[in-house]
Structure 1
Amino acid sequence: MARRLALVLTTTLSLALAAVAAPAAAAPAPVGPETGEAASALAAVYAATARFQRHEEAVKAGYVPDKYCVTNRSGPGALGYPHFNHKLDNSVDPAHPTALFYEDDKKGGKRLVGVQWLVYDRDQNLATSDDRPALFGKAFKGPQRGNFPGQPIHYALHLWLWKKNPLGEFETYNPAVSCRPGTVRPTPQV
């Protein structure tokens, strides 16, 4: 475990240094999630979340684990086990995501696979989006209804930072993430 954490920290530091110390190109750099400010923001997320590879560190930092694994009910993939720190709702700081997503590591533990930022819609109107935030050069998805009673209409941005998503790093669900049988929230009986 210590060896894996050392590798993660070394990789994180390398990405951060590369983003900050990269020489300016003669031609303007293309705009995208891997360049300029977006690259610096991505390096900040790696640096800030590397310690959460150790599940207990996330819990100590205020991320509350959900006991259920979340699947995509309308298609392939899953989110995994969400861990929310609602004190970080409305953050667009790369170093402070609202949620962390974990999957079972097949050894009885959890492995960090992704993160999410969640920002409340200012006017709580699904028909307007003039306050849509962006991060990494990507607009947040939404506005969308709350996922549980009392959660406001909001925007969300997912980033599959620690596990590749074949559909794209900013897609909501990751088909490479799955939930073990018996770990999904039961469907409410009507």
Structure 2
Amino acid sequence: MRVHRILTTAAVLAAVAVAGTAVPASARPVDAIRPDHASQAALVAELRAATARFHDVDVAIAEGYLPAEECSASPAGAMGHHFVNPALIAPGAPVDASKPPVLLYGPSASGELEFWGAEFFEPNIGQPTPVFGTQQFDGPMPGHEPGMPEHYDLHVWVGKHNPDGLYAPFNPSVSC
């Protein structure tokens, strides 16, 4: 893997803090929460198709995803390395399955980074809890690092099976 630049978590978070303009909940389109989406499975399939090209981490970097230095893990399992695209973080904007703001990578058996999944991240601006189809985001929660805003997030394990569930934050079958 070629990493063009490795950013500290603080640098990624600073980029996130300045990305986008807050959109009040009252200005959101009616379909922003997609309550009548034909099928949650179809939405996950849309996300899986949209992220297929990101199995190559260099493609993610070329498209503006910035890697964090650390691999996030806990006793519950791992989340992996977060690659954040600050241009895709727009507080209060509708969730777009074709444009996840965060990609998750972790080490493969050979030691190279492999694609594990996507994360939707939305700073809390007082909006209703965001949803991905019918799946509510987790939160609001305080930032996990200095400078990270209170936020909502949702992990979707479309690249690596998670025995704890498609939307579980940590995956017990992987490690950093």
Give TM-score scaled by structure 1 length: 0.67
Q: How far is the alpha carbon of 1:144 from its aligned partner?
A: 0.4
- Give the residue type in structure 1 aligned to 2:169: T
Higher gyration radius (CA): 1
Whole-Å separation in 2 of the counterparts to 1:67 and 1:119: 21
| 1:83 matches 2:86 | no
| 1:122 matches 2:119 | no
SS, match of residue 68 in structure 1: strand
Whole-Å separation in 1 of the counterparts to 2:103 and 2:123: 18
Q: How far is the alpha carbon of 1:37 from its aligned partner?
A: 3.5
Which residue is 1:171 aligned to? 168
Q: How far is the alpha carbon of 1:107 from its aligned partner?
A: 2.5
| 1:94 matches 2:97 | yes
Whole-Å separation in 2 of the counterparts to 1:105 and 1:167: 20
Q: Which moved more, 1:109-118 or 1:89-98?
A: 89-98
Unaligned residue ranges in structure 1 (runs of 5+)? 1-34, 124-129, 180-190
Work out whether residues 102 and 111 of structure 1, in 8 Å CA contact, stay in contact via their aligned partners in 2: yes
Whole-Å separation in 2 of the counterparts to 1:146 and 1:161: 24
* Percent of residue pairs identical: 34
- More strand per residue: 2
Asked which structure has the greater RCO (Cα within 8 Å, sep 6+), the reply is 2
SS, match of residue 121 in structure 2: strand
- Give the residue type in structure 2 aligned to 1:99: V
Q: Number of aligned residue pairs: give it.
A: 137
For residues 27-106 of structure 1, the aligned pairs below 5 Å read 36-72=38-74, 75-90=75-90, 92-106=95-109
Q: How far is the alpha carbon of 1:93 from its aligned partner?
A: 0.3
- Give the residue type in structure 1 aligned to 2:69: K
1:76-130 deviation digits (Å, cap 9, x = unpaired)? 201111111121113610011111111112324211011100111113xxxxxx6
Whole-Å separation in 1 of the counterparts to 2:104 and 2:114: 8
Which residue is 2:34 aligned to? none
Work out whether residues 89 and 118 of structure 1, in 8 Å CA contact, stay in contact via their aligned partners in 2: yes
Which residue is 1:152 aligned to? 149
- Give the residue type in structure 1 aligned to 2:159: W
Whole-Å separation in 2 of the counterparts to 1:56 and 1:116: 18
Which residue is 1:186 aligned to? none
Q: How far is the alpha carbon of 1:156 from its aligned partner?
A: 0.4
- Give the residue type in structure 2 aligned to 1:76: A
SS, match of residue 69 in structure 2: coil
SS, match of residue 106 in structure 1: coil
Unaligned residue ranges in structure 2 (runs of 5+)? 1-36
CA RMSD of aligned residues (A): 1.6
